[in-house]
């Protein structure tokens, strides 16, 4: 797959998916670790609601970034994507920060942990990963960005239904 650092052009669905492999691994990993230490330490924002809530833990963050970096970089190498492990780390971290930002927004909207927030739930990590790739120098064309969002949202919905049926998630979203 023709994704490399110079120039890193993301102009097809295949290149978008290839680039985002670390994010696609990082995002679902926290569900498996059952973290206990919330990133916000139980603290509340000035609106009296939790900053992030109990669904965002340090263990989940660490596991997501570690899995996305290591497995993502390994898959990149197999697929011939010419990016470094540092890129895999940045895209994994971007995905997890996007997910955290999504929870921050949900709490500000008074949505409790686990409440559905259509589009936000599916695309917060995508936005974070795309933003990280842009910081690394990747350039996305608009059509690919939108097509990627549609495909990621559809896959996210399907994957969460599977995780729910498998008993990994409390809600099917």
Q: Which is nearer to ligand CTP, 11 or 171 (CB)?
A: 171
By CB under 6 A, the count of residues binding ligand CTP is: 16
**In angstroms, rounded to a whole number, what is the distance separating the alpha carbons of residues 111 and 55?**
12
Question: Hey, is 31 helix, strand or coil?
Answer: helix
Residue 137, phi-psi category: left (phi > 0), alpha (psi -120 to 50), beta (remainder)? left
Strands 9-10 and 139-140: parallel
- Residues numbered 53 to 82 that lie near ligand CTP (CB under 6 A) are 53, 55-57, 60-61
CB of 12 to ligand CTP, least distance (A): 28
Q: Choose which of 31, 83, 95, 123 interacts with ligand CTP (CB under 6 A).
A: 31
According to the binding rule CB under 6 A, does residue 114 interact with ligand CTP? yes
Q: Which is nearer to ligand CTP, 65 or 81 (CB)?
A: 65
How many angstroms separate the Cα of 77 from the Cα of each of 83, 94, 120?
8, 20, 31
Residue 168 phi, psi dihedral angles, 5° rounding:
-85, -30
According to the binding rule CB under 6 A, does residue 156 interact with ligand CTP? no
Which residues are near ligand CTP by CB under 6 A? 30-31, 35, 53, 55-57, 60-61, 96, 99, 103, 106, 113-115
């Amino acid at each position: 797959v023709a994704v490399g650092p110079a120039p890193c052009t993301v102009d097809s669905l295949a290149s978008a998916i290839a680039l985002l492999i670390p994010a696609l691994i990082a995002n679902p990993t926290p569900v498996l670790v059952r973290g206990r230490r919330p990133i916000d330490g139980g603290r509340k924002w000035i609106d009296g609601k939790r900053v992030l809530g109990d669904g965002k833990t340090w263990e989940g963050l660490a596991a997501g970034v570690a899995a996305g970096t290591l497995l993502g970089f390994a898959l990149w190498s197999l697929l011939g994507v010419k990016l470094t492990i540092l890129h895999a780390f940045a895209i994994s971290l971007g995905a997890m920060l996007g997910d955290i930002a999504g929870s921050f927004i949900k709490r500000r909207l008074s949505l409790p942990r686990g409440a559905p927030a259509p589009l936000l739930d599916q695309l917060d990590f995508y936005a974070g990963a795309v933003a990280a790739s842009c910081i690394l120098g990747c350039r996305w064309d608009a059509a690919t960005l939108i097509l990627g969002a549609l495909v990621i949202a559809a896959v996210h919905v399907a994957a969460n239904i599977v995780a729910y049926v498998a008993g990994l998630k409390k809600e099917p979203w």
